[in-house]
Amino acid sequence: MLFQTLSSGARDNIFMRAKGKTISLPEGNDERVIKAAEILKKELNIKTYLGNSQEAEKNKQKTLDIMQKIAEKKGKPLSDKILPLIGDTTFEGGAKLHLGEVDAVVSGCVNSTAHVIRAALSTVGLKPQTKIITSAFLLALPKPTPGGEGLVLFADCGVIPQPSSGELVDIAYLGQEAYAFWSGQTPHVSFLSFSTVGSAEHPDVEKVRNAFKIFTEKYPNIIADGEVQFDTACVPSVAQRKNPQGKAQGKTNVFIFPDLDAGNIGYKITQRIGGAEAWGPILLGAAKPFSDLSRGASAEDIAHVAALTLALS
């Protein structure tokens, strides 16, 4: 059964948002993908389009038309490096998504993350309010944080190695949006650092501090703190001492890491030592739900990512 470790409220919310929709799984010849499609049909009545090279070849012109349309929107000619991919199943899936024939695309148990992102950018483009594609993990904790949060989101954990202040703003916006869709709860965002509101000075601290400043100016109604250390973000008593004017007050559920080193290490520690159930990485930022998989993903992993990606539509 999908999402067994989730609270009933979050699980029901994801199921409600994903149920009965249609998804493209472009790597349709892989046994794991075929099994995932069966799971999705059985549990959520999700219709799956399993990609295959013969159909993708037949649909090349349709895929090319969509890719040219996206390129024109960007004001750039279609790259010669992209043209040979018009018969690729992941690009075909993106074209179907662009046309509304499916509600989401999930690929990557065979293809690389770079390939999946390239397909997303070439067929659906970016959300209008962001300039990046990023990624997040949704983690169900074995016991709640001291602030009482049992379901948390970590970002970015898989795409942008050294995000700028502006990119951290986009990562935070996309992360809190996804968290709200998945959990049905109000996001509480913290921009993480080794400093808490001026306790240290360093270019890395300044980057996070600037990101928080820009974020609060751009999205004043979203509950957010920064720059804060991890304990300030998730322990109310520490937050009260270190950041008494903060809004999250130790009840963070959306953790924004300063770089990919920290995010990737952080989620793996939480999963492997902390015992959390981790789902992802889910790509965020494409104009329509388009996500990646680990190449080591099991059928159950694929089904989980597919349901979460559909829940964003």
CB 278 within 8 A of CB 271: yes
**Would you say residue 61 lies in a domain?**
yes
Are residues 60 and 187 located together in one domain of the fold? no
pLDDT of residue 13: 94
134-140/151-155 β-pairing = antiparallel
The tens digit of pLDDT for each residue in 4-35 reads 888 889 999 999 999 999 999 999 999 999 99
**Would you say residue 3 lies in a domain?**
no
The tens digit of pLDDT for each residue in 234-253 reads 999 999 999 999 999 999 99
Are residues 120 and 138 located together in one domain of the fold? no
**Token duo for residue 295:** 């190449």
Are residues 117 and 145 located together in one domain of the fold? no
The tens digit of pLDDT for each residue in 156-210 reads 999 999 999 999 999 999 999 999 999 999 999 999 999 999 888 899 999 999 9
Structurally, the chain folds into a number of domains equal to 2
**Would you say residue 99 lies in a domain?**
yes
Are residues 220 and 92 located together in one domain of the fold? no
Are residues 177 and 160 located together in one domain of the fold? yes
Mean pLDDT of the chain: 95
Are residues 216 and 242 located together in one domain of the fold? yes
Identify the sign of the CA torsion 19, 24, 25, 29.
positive
**Would you say residue 2 lies in a domain?**
no
**Would you say residue 239 lies in a domain?**
yes
Are residues 90 and 185 located together in one domain of the fold? no
pLDDT of residue 69: 92
**CA gap 56, 25 in Å, rounded:** 12
pLDDT of residue 78: 83
Are residues 172 and 250 located together in one domain of the fold? yes
Q: What average pLDDT does this structure show over 140-158?
A: 96
Identify the CA nearest to 309 among candidates 105, 164, 148, 115. 105
Q: Percentage of the chain with pLDDT > 70?
A: 100
47-50/151-155 β-pairing = unpaired
Q: 111: domain range?
A: 8-125+286-310
Are residues 95 and 151 located together in one domain of the fold? no
**Would you say residue 171 lies in a domain?**
yes
**Would you say residue 1 lies in a domain?**
no
- What CATH code is carried by the domain that includes residue 60? 3.40.50.10950
In sequence order, what are the residues at sequence separation of 6 or more whose Cβ sits closer than 8 angstroms to the Cβ of residue 146? 234, 235, 236, 237, 250
pLDDT of residue 212: 98
pLDDT of residue 200: 84
**Would you say residue 199 lies in a domain?**
yes
Q: What average pLDDT does this structure show over 264-282?
A: 95
Are residues 71 and 20 located together in one domain of the fold? yes
Are residues 227 and 303 located together in one domain of the fold? no
Q: Percentage of the chain with pLDDT > 90?
A: 89
